[in-house]
């Protein structure tokens, strides 16, 4: 094969891609400098720098004893490559709610095998299966969107046990990267609630494997403890009796486990609703009761039941992880019974226990609540995105039409001493936002309301969901268009913004019945508190587009007048803001007032700590 991938034949369809070729040689003899020879009639006509370009057959003009590449085609390829290089990097599409399915890897099978040689002949020697890999969610501060690669995440299966006591390898754990600020909820499905409440526990195949494998573990350790038993004192009759007792005990323990399945919901353990040490999820009985009364267990509406979700974790710190689906336990190899059931027939009963445990399956709802230090709140076209792009390295879309920004975006304001303020730009608010009016993120909301897993009523107006992205901010930055480019009055705008946020904070969008009992008592409580205190946060008020108001206005002191009126309006609606925190700026044109703004922003964020 030569560099063109063609050997001494003409380039074929299978060998068209030329990768990493820096210089073309003679097609026939591959020499850089073709020499006339009896075997080579070729001559080099052009030299090009080509990397990972696609060369078509018809690029080769094979003349008598000569070949060439169409230079215009190569130049075109080069230009295309350059264009692609200069293209702005595609932004990861924003998503703040996602539903995923996770399953831990299955355990490996336990092996049933017997020694075939020497004094150990026929003695059981099957190794145990390896444990299945777990699935974790781990936070990554580099990510800002919940746009995940897949919707299904499975841990690796454990390896099977082998002969001669070789245990299977454990499956690898899987870490799913999510941005910071993700609230994880686990969807309770019909089956799970049925198991908790229903009488038909025997029909629930596979519900108790976890428990069985725990018992297997106990027995495994028992078996291992007893491995020192002397084989000289082995009595087959006694052994048979032992085995019967053992089998009976096993059966009764299984029965017991099934009967006592409700004991699994340990009332003491359950307060947090997160995974307990035994690897199982526990829910508070009140939570389950709430589910049963809310949806009615007997009405047979499975889809409605499946919407009940339980709070699992609030991942608000970077590099924290939570186990969402545990791997199955490995099957027990028959070496565990080596001492107890010496005869192959008896040990072969171990085959029942050699089956591996399945990995845990869980359906999760992930909800991203951006964690920003400051949130930008303003009407469409006020200049929020312009301000974010002027103060940080974020590249939001800026345009003169309203609702340019349809999903939240964060940027970082960097200070010389290393201090950072993360600022969130959210879609523009309008009058009635707290009741659900507005355009921001409507596409996302439609998909959410259609979603089986969310208990939102699609007949209602879509809520201003993106406001929850400013729930976790420490400070708020209100921004109004001081020049009134769209014919708006900045002072009136501020009044409306204050009113909408107040409504959102106190009742409005906030629906306590959406919260589960566990959520109310755990991490999300903090969010509720913050939400209610939304108006008490340190705030700045910015009058943007000051460049459009001349300093020497015909109306004397027009700029000062606007700032004064804004401070009056802030007092009226109860925005926590001192008079010197009301600034005139020009975010998109002259950049005036941005320096003082960065200082004020820092002190507001620091003051809120
Ligand atoms: N004259 C002037 N125009 C500005 C200034 N800041 C922003 N603009 C213009 O105002 C228009 C809207 O700016 P954006 O930053 O997209 O406004 P926004 O608040 O993000 O708007 P939405 O995303 O639609 O909510 C753009 O045409 C900007 O060029 C400014 O300081 N002076
Ligand atoms: Mg915008």
In the reported structure, the alpha carbon of residue 439 is separated from the centroid of ligand 1 by a whole-number distance in angstroms of 17
Mean pLDDT of 14-37: 46
Residue 91 belongs to a domain: no
Output the pLDDT for position 167. 92
Residues near ligand 1 (Cβ within 6 A): 378, 380-386, 398-400, 402-405, 427-428, 544-545, 547-548, 586-589
Name the pLDDT band for 268 (thresholds 50, 70, 90).
very low
Cβ distance 330 to 166 under 8 Å? no
Return the best residue to mutate from 383, 390, 467 for the ligand 1 pocket (most ligand atoms within 8 A of CB): 383
pLDDT classification of 120: cutoffs 50, 70, 90: confident
Report residue 137's pLDDT band, with 50, 70 and 90 as the boundaries: very high
Task: Indicate the SS3 state at residue 264.
Answer: helix
Q: What is the mean pLDDT of the chain?
A: 66
Tell me which residue has its CA closest to atom 6 in ligand 1.
588
Confidence of residue 121 (pLDDT cuts 50, 70, 90): confident
Ligand 1 closest atom vs CA 388 = 15
Rounded distance from Cα 390 to ligand 1 centre (Å): 11
For 203, the 3-state DSSP assignment is helix
Task: Supply the residue whose CA is at minimum distance from atom 27 of ligand 1.
Answer: 400
Is the pLDDT confidence value at 446 over 50?
no
Asked if residue 526 belongs to a domain, the reply is yes
- For residues 413 and 430, membership in a common domain is answered with yes
Residue whose CA is at the smallest distance from ligand 1 atom 26: 400
Q: Indicate which atom in ligand 1 lies nearest the CA of residue 406.
A: 23
Question: Looking at residue 472, which CATH number applies to its domain?
Answer: 3.40.50.300
Residues 233 and 120 in one domain: yes
Q: Does 7 reside within a domain?
A: no
Query: Among 375, 386, 429, which residue has the most ligand 1 atoms within 8 Å of its CB, making it the best to mutate?
Result: 386
State the pLDDT confidence band at 347, using cuts at 50, 70 and 90. low
In a domain, residue 8? The reply is no
Question: Any idea which ligand is nearest the CA of 389?
Answer: 1
Does residue 330 share a domain with residue 224? Answer: yes
CA of 401 from ligand 1 middle (Å) equals 9
The pLDDT, as a whole number, for residue 553 is: 54
E strand map for 407-504 = 409-414, 420-425, 475-481
Give percent of the chain with pLDDT exceeding 90: 16
Domain span at 76 = 13-86
The whole-number average pLDDT for the span 542-563 is: 79
Where residue 303 falls among pLDDT bands split at 50, 70, 90? very low
Atom of ligand 1 nearest to the CA of 427: 25
| C-alpha to C-alpha distance for 482 and 162, rounded to whole angstroms | 76
pLDDT band for 4, please (50, 70, 90 cuts).
very low
Tell me the average pLDDT across 63-72.
53
Number of Cβ within 10 Å of residue 306's Cβ equals 20
**Domain check: are 322 and 377 in the same one?**
no
Q: Are residues 442 and 295 in the same domain?
A: no
pLDDT surpassing 90 at residue 134: yes
Q: What is the pLDDT of residues 144-159, one digit of tens each?
A: 788 888 889 999 999 9
Of 311, 333, 367, which one is at a domain's C-terminal end?
367
Retrieve residue 211's tokens.
């428990």
Q: What is the pLDDT of residue 276?
A: 37
Pick the residue with more confidence: 590 or 51? Answer: 590
Predicted confidence at residue 305, as pLDDT, reads 36
Nearest CA among 110, 113, 107, 114 for reference residue 128: 110
Ligand 2 centre from 591 Cα, in Å? Answer: 17
pLDDT on residue 345: 55
> Is residue 2, in this structure, part of any structural domain at all?
no
Q: What is the sign, positive or negative, of the torsion defined by CA atoms of 521, 466, 496, 397?
A: positive
Mutating to test ligand 1, I would choose from 398, 425, 469, 549 the residue with most ligand atoms within 8 A of its C-beta, which is: 398
Q: Identify whether residues 345 and 422 lie together within a single domain.
A: no
Whole-number pLDDT of residue 153: 93
Per-residue pLDDT at 146: 84
DSSP per-residue codes, 309-348: EEEEEEE-STT-EEEEEPPPPPPPPGGGGTTT--SHHHHG
Nearest CA to ligand 1 atom 2: 545
Name the residue of 94, 375, 381, 589 to mutate for ligand 1: max ligand atoms within 8 A of Cβ: 381
Ligand whose nearest atom lies closest to the CA of 381: 1
Ligand that comes closest to the CA of residue 380? 1
d(CA 196, ligand 1 centre) in Å: 55
Percent of the chain at pLDDT exceeding 70: 52
Sheet architecture: strand order including 174-178: 174-178, 135-139, 321-325
427 alpha carbon, closest ligand:
1
The per-residue pLDDT for 362 is 86
pLDDT of 411 reads 86
- The rounded Å distance from CA 583 to ligand 2 centre is 20
Q: Which among 207, 155, 170, 177 is positioned nearest to 325, based on CA atoms?
A: 155
Residue nearest atom 1 of ligand 1, based on CA coordinates: 545
Cα(383) to centroid(ligand 1), Å: 3
Q: 386 C-alpha to center of ligand 1: Å?
A: 6
Say whether both 491 and 551 belong to one domain.
yes
Residue 215 resides in a domain? yes
Nearest CA to ligand 1 atom 16: 398
The radius of gyration computed from the CA coordinates of the chain, to the nearest angstrom, equals 34
Long-range contacts of 25-31 (CB under 8 A, 24+ apart): 27/2, 27/60, 27/67, 30/2, 30/3
Which of these three, 39, 62, 86, is where a domain ends? 86
Q: Do residue 273 and residue 135 come from a single domain?
A: yes
pTM: 0.55
Q: What is the pLDDT of residues 491-532, one digit of tens each?
A: 999 998 888 787 776 543 344 444 444 445 544 454 455 455
Ligand 2 centroid to Cα of residue 409, in Å, is: 9
- Stretch 113-118: mean pLDDT: 84
User: What ipTM was predicted for this assembly?
Assistant: 0.99
Are 389 and 471 within one domain? yes
Please identify, by atom number, the ligand 1 atom nearest to the C-alpha of residue 402. Answer: 24
Q: Is residue 216 part of a domain?
A: yes
Residue 534 has what pLDDT?
Answer: 74
**Do residues 309 and 429 share a domain?**
no
Task: Answer whether 356's CB lies under 8 Å from 111's CB.
Answer: no
Measured in Å, residue 544 CA sits from the centre of ligand 1 at 9
Ligand 1 centroid – CA 549 distance (Å):
15
Query: In Å, how far are 82, 243, 253, 353 from 249, measured between CA atoms?
Result: 74, 10, 6, 14
Ligand number with the minimum distance to the CA of 544: 1
Residue nearest to atom 5 of ligand 1 (CA): 588
Contacts (Cβ under 8 Å, ≥6 apart) of 224 = 336
**What domain count does the chain have?**
3
Give whichever of 165-169, 482-486, 520-524 has the largest mean pLDDT: 165-169
CATH of residue 236 = 2.70.210.12
**pLDDT band for position 487 (cuts 50, 70, 90):** confident
Mean pLDDT across 444-465? 32
Question: Where is average pLDDT lowest: 200-214, 353-367, 401-415?
Answer: 200-214
Q: Which atom of ligand 1 is nearest to the CA of 400?
A: 27
C-alpha span between 526 and 609 (Å, rounded): 14
pLDDT of 241 above 50 = yes
CA–centroid distance, 190 to ligand 2, in Å, is 42
Mean pLDDT of 26-50: 46
Question: Which of 588, 591, 594 to mutate for ligand 1's pocket (most ligand atoms within 8 Å of CB)?
Answer: 588
Say if residue 123 is in the same domain as residue 79: no
Q: Which of 327, 349, 367 is the last residue of a domain?
A: 367
Q: What is the mean pLDDT of residues 226-249?
A: 44
Does the residue 543 lie in any domain? yes
The per-residue pLDDT for 148 is 86
Same domain, 362 and 283: yes
Q: Confidence class of residue 481 from pLDDT cuts 50, 70 and 90? A: very high
């Amino acid at each position: 094969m030569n560099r063109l991938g063609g050997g001494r034949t003409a380039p074929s369809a299978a060998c068209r891609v030329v990768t990493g070729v820096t210089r073309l040689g003679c097609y026939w003899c591959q020499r850089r400098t073709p020499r006339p020879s009896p075997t080579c009639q070729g001559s080099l006509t052009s030299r090009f720098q080509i990397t990972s370009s696609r060369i078509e057959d018809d690029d080769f003009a094979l003349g008598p004893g000569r070949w060439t590449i169409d230079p215009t085609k190569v130049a075109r390829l080069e230009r295309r490559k350059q264009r692609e290089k200069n293209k702005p990097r595609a932004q990861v599409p924003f998503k703040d709610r996602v539903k995923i399915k996770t399953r831990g890897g299955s355990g490996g099978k336990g092996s049933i095998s017997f020694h075939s040689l020497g004094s150990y002949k026929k003695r059981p020697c099957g190794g145990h299966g390896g444990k299945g890999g777990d699935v974790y969610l781990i936070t990554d501060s580099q990510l800002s969107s919940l746009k995940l690669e897949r919707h299904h995440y499975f841990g690796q299966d454990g390896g099977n046990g082998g002969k001669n006591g070789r245990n299977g390898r454990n499956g690898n754990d899987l870490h799913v990267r999510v941005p910071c600020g993700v609230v994880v909820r686990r969807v309770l499905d019909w089956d799970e609630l049925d198991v908790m409440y229903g009488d038909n526990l025997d029909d629930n195949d596979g519900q108790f494997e976890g428990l069985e494998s725990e018992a297997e573990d106990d027995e495994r350790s028992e078996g291992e403890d007893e491995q020192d038993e002397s084989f000289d004192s082995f009595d087959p009759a006694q052994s048979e009796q032992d085995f019967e007792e053992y089998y009976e005990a096993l059966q009764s323990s299984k029965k017991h486990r099934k009967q006592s399945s409700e004991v699994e919901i340990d009332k003491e353990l359950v307060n947090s609703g997160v995974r307990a040490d035994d690897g199982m999820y526990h829910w508070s009985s009140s939570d389950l009761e709430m589910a049963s009364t809310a949806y009615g267990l007997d009405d047979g509406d499975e889809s409605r039941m499946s919407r009940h979700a339980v709070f699992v974790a609030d991942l608000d710190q970077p590099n924290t992880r939570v186990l969402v689906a545990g791997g199955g336990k490995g099957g027990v190899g028959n070496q565990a019974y080596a001492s107890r059931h010496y005869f192959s027939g008896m040990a072969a009963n171990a085959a029942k226990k050699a089956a591996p445990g399945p990995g845990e399956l869980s359906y999760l709802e992930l909800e991203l609540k951006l964690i920003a230090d400051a949130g930008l709140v303003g009407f469409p076209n006020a200049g929020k995105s312009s301000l974010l792009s002027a103060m940080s390295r974020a590249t939001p879309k800026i345009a003169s039409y309203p609702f340019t920004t349809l999903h939240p975006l964060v940027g970082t304001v960097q200070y010389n001493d290393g201090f950072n303020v993360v600022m969130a730009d959210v879609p523009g608010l309008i009058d009635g936002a707290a009741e659900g009016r507005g355009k921001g993120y409507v596409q996302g909301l439609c998909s959410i309301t259609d979603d089986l897993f969310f208990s939102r009523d699609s007949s209602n107006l879509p809520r201003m969901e993106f406001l929850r992205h400013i729930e976790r901010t420490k400070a708020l930055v209100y921004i109004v268009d001081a020049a009134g480019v769209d014919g708006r009055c900045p002072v009136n705008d501020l009044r409306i913004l204050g009113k909408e946020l107040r409504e959102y904070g106190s009742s409005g969008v906030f629906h306590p019945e959406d919260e589960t009992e566990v959520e109310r008592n755990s991490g999300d409580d903090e969010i509720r508190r913050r939400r209610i205190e939304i108006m008490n946060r340190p705030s700045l008020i910015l009058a943007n587009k000051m460049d459009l108001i001349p300093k020497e206005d015909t109306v004397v002191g027009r700029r000062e007048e606007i700032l004064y009126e804004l401070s009056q309006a802030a007092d009226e609606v109860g925005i926590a803001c001192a008079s010197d925190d009301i600034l005139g700026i020009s975010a998109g044109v002259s950049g005036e007032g941005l320096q003082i703004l960065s200082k004020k922003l820092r002190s507001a964020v620091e003051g809120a700590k």
